[in-house]
């Protein structure tokens, strides 16, 4: 059986997905990156290797996410694509006529506008925490509530309070103030969900032509309170795919399959043994010109596998 592997490495999570030749999901892995992308990639490769059927042959590999180039060097990727493309491709696989993709992860968020199967606009937010999952994680910890309970508690709200959501610092002080005034925890949580959605639409979604069908992806899509807040704000149904938390990896796997079928090339995948190979990453400052580029270097033992980060291409 031929399979296609997609790897999405972000600042919070590292996700892997293996699809069959029909584009159906065989298995997925969701891991915390924990600031060590190389170890997370190798751990993910090891986990999915142990769970896949023994007769499977990986015919193509693609990587995406903020550490896509690093992941591509380690595993031997056939395709390295940005996360906008990967998420769009995955969304169109689930909902072929999708017009808007909302993606909210732990540290960043993005919106993708699609028309007739083509990405025509997008925006990303990787600076402000108020529109990301870390905002909810922090507030859940402060309230002593598991983040998994957020959605159910938000659904119990009678009169959600308005929380100042444009900044996570202001939101926390406003939330404390609302607690002191005697508002219930479900009303405050529902208010927090609405604040995150309001911040997302006012910043990431500002000026975007948001049309249905709308697909909601990323780890935060598990939160029923956020989904309900989006439905109320956009006045339309929000579709959450079955594998919402690993859609980037699924999109990458689909791109790998497309590449192999178009080029008829043999995969460059190094095999599942990469989970046991020692890799090291380091960087140095190039003093060749006034740019002073920071060059990233990946080594296997003492052999340099790849370098990137320079603007002129000198080290690549």
CA 273 to chain CA centroid, Å, is 25
Q: Is 194 within the bounds of a domain?
A: yes
Q: Are residues 225 and 133 in the same domain?
A: yes
Residues with Cβ within 8 Å of 196's Cβ and at least 6 positions away in sequence, in order, are 130, 131, 135, 136, 165, 226, 229
Residue 108 DSSP code: -
Q: Are residues 34 and 136 in the same domain?
A: no
d(CA 60, CA 25): 15
Q: Are residues 219 and 259 in the same domain?
A: no
Q: Are residues 128 and 216 in the same domain?
A: yes
Tens-digit pLDDT profile for residues 83-125: 999 999 999 999 999 999 999 887 788 999 999 999 999 998 8
What is the model's pLDDT at position 283?
87
d(CA 283, CA 311): 15
Tell which residue, 125, 171, 177, 133, has the closest CA to residue 151: 133
Q: How far, in Å, are 101, 246, 295 from residue 110 at the CA level?
A: 8, 15, 27
CA diameter of the chain: 66
Neighbours of 10 (CB within 10 A): 23
pLDDT exceeds 80 at position 299: yes
Q: Is 25 within the bounds of a domain?
A: yes
Q: Is 316 within the bounds of a domain?
A: no
What is the model's pLDDT at position 313?
81
Give the confidence band of 129 by pLDDT, cuts at 50, 70, 90. low
pLDDT exceeds 70 at position 217: yes
What is the model's pLDDT at position 108?
80
Q: Are residues 116 and 236 in the same domain?
A: yes
Domain count along the chain: 3
Q: Are residues 258 and 303 in the same domain?
A: no
Q: Are residues 42 and 60 in the same domain?
A: yes
Please check whether residue 277 is in contact with residue 284, taking contact to mean a CB–CB distance below 8 angstroms.
Answer: no
Please check whether residue 190 is in contact with residue 152, taking contact to mean a CB–CB distance below 8 angstroms.
Answer: no
Strand partners, 5: 18, 61
Q: Are residues 122 and 82 in the same domain?
A: no
Q: Whole domain around residue 283: which residue ranges?
A: 279-308
Q: Average model confidence (pLDDT) for the chain?
A: 88
What is the model's pLDDT at position 237?
96
Predicted TM-score of the model (pTM):
0.86
Q: Is beta strand 109-115 parallel, antiparallel or unpaired with respect to 118-125?
A: antiparallel
Tens-digit pLDDT profile for residues 49-87: 999 988 899 999 999 988 898 899 999 999 999 999 999
Tell which residue, 263, 215, 233, has the closest CA to residue 92: 215
pLDDT exceeds 70 at position 128: no
d(CA 164, CA 288): 48
The tally of CA atoms less than 13 A away on the side-chain side of residue 195 is: 28
In this structure, what are the phi and psi dihedrals at residue 126, rounded to the nearest 5 degrees? -125, 15
Strand partners, 299: 280, 304
3-state secondary structure of 117: coil
d(CA 141, CA 83): 29
Q: Is 314 within the bounds of a domain?
A: no
Question: How many helices and strands in the chain, by DSSP H and E?
Answer: 9, 13
Q: Is 125 within the bounds of a domain?
A: yes
């Amino acid at each position: 059986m031929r399979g296609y592997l997609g790897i999405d490495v972000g600042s919070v999570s590292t996700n892997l997905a293996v699809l069959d030749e029909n584009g159906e999901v065989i298995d997925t892995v969701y891991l915390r990156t924990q600031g060590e992308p190389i170890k997370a990639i190798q751990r993910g490769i090891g986990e999915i290797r142990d769970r896949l059927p023994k007769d499977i042959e990986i015919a193509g590999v693609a990587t995406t996410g903020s550490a896509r180039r690093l992941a591509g060097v380690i595993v031997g990727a056939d395709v390295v694509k940005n996360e906008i493309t990967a998420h769009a491709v995955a969304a169109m696989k689930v909902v072929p006529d999708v017009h808007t993709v909302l993606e909210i992860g732990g540290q960043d968020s993005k919106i993708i506008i699609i028309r007739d199967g083509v990405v025509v606009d997008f925006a990303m937010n990787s600076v402000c925490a108020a529109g990301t999952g870390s905002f909810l994680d922090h507030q859940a910890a402060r309230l002593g509530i598991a983040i998994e309970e957020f959605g159910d508690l938000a659904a119990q709200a009678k009169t959600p309070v308005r929380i100042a959501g444009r900044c996570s610092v202001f939101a926390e002080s406003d939330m404390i103030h609302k607690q002191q005034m005697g508002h219930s925890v479900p009303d405050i949580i529902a208010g927090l969900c609405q604040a995150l959605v309001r911040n997302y639409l006012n910043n990431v979604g500002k000026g975007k032509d948001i049309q249905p069908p709308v697909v909601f992806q990323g780890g935060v899509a598990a939160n029923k309170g956020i989904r309900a807040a989006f439905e109320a704000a956009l006045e339309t149904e929000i579709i959450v795919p079955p594998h919402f938390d690993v859609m980037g990896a699924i999109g990458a796997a689909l791109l790998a399959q497309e590449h192999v079928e178009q080029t008829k090339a043999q995969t460059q995948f190094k095999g599942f043994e990469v989970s046991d190979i020692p890799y090291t990453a380091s960087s140095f400052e190039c003093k060749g010109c006034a740019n002073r580029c920071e060059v990233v270097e990946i080594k296997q033992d003492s052999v340099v596998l790849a370098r990137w980060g320079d603007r002129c291409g000198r080290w690549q």
